[in-house]
Amino acid sequence: MLIGLGLGPGDPELLTLRAVRLLREADAVFVPGRLAHALVSPYRDAEILDFPMTEDPAQIRLCMERNVEKIAPVASSGSAVLALIGDPNFFSTFTRLCQVMEEKYPSIVCRTEPGISAITAFAAVAGVSLSGGFCVSDGTEQRYRVLLKVRRPREAASALGREGFRRFVLVEKMYLPDMHVYRDGDLPETCDYLSVLYAER
């Protein structure tokens, strides 16, 4: 079995009790990078896998195939955990990995265990209430819009402004030691990949 395990937004105190238990019980734990490795390391050793940030479908596919071959020997006879920042069901590497795993090893079951998602953690950090309908980069017109992985926030806010959005909050590196919160006219030109942009009409 392969379990996609959500580690939350980056604060070690926001790991769920279930996450800690599954980390301790797994036959092997894999992580996609140093931030996830740091969250996992108090509970057990983990192997860092390479998941390059790219939009090239061929490179993504090759990366997924290589990682599946590393995970499958464990998952075929026991429990393998891929522990990720955030929630494995929201715009996650885990979804793509499972698609390849199911193609190559259909007998291996893939499932997820949620973590605190970037969306809910962002609302707490930014002090905003997402109490109405909102859109998470799917194009639905609502009062709020939440954009994940925003690398050019000023450009994104400008485009959203043309759609009638007027209030913006950007949280960069949420819950990490060097977290920053930017509002409206303060938005930077570029920011880290671990960023969330909130827009309100």
Whole-angstrom Cα Rg for the chain: 18
Q: Say which amino acid occupies 131.
A: S
Cα(148)–Cα(171) distance, integer angstroms: 10
Q: Are 142 and 133 in contact (CB under 8 A)?
A: yes
- Helix (H/G/I), strand (E/B), else coil: 161: helix
118-200 CATH pick, 3.10.450.50, 3.40.50.2300, 3.30.950.10, 3.10.129.10: 3.30.950.10
Q: How far is CA 53 from the centre of its chain?
A: 13
Hunting for tokens 């909102």 — which residue is that?
A: 134
Superfamily of structural domain 2-113: Tetrapyrrole methylase, N-terminal domain (3.40.1010.10)
What's the confidence (pLDDT) of residue 195?
93
Helix count (H) and strand count (E) of the chain? 6, 10
What's the confidence (pLDDT) of residue 8?
94
Q: Which residue, 26, 173, 4, is CA-closest to 89?
A: 4
What's the confidence (pLDDT) of residue 158?
95
Mind listing the pLDDT tens digit of every residue in the chain (201 residues)? 999 999 999 999 999 999 999 999 999 999 999 999 999 999 999 999 998 888 788 898 999 999 999 999 999 999 999 999 988 987 778 988 999 999 999 999 999 999 998 888 999 999 998 876 666 654 545 788 888 889 999 999 999 999 999 999 999 998 889 999 999 889 999 999 899 999 998
What's the confidence (pLDDT) of residue 138?
46
- Token pair of 42, please? 């108090």
What's the confidence (pLDDT) of residue 193?
86
Q: Are 107 and 71 in contact (CB under 8 A)?
A: no
Q: Which residue, 134, 120, 149, is CA-closest to 8?
A: 120
Q: What does the domain layout of the chain look like in residue ranges? A: 2-113, 118-200
- Which ranges constitute the DSSP H helices of the chain? 17-25, 34-40, 57-75, 93-104, 118-126, 153-161
What's the confidence (pLDDT) of residue 191?
93
What's the confidence (pLDDT) of residue 35?
93
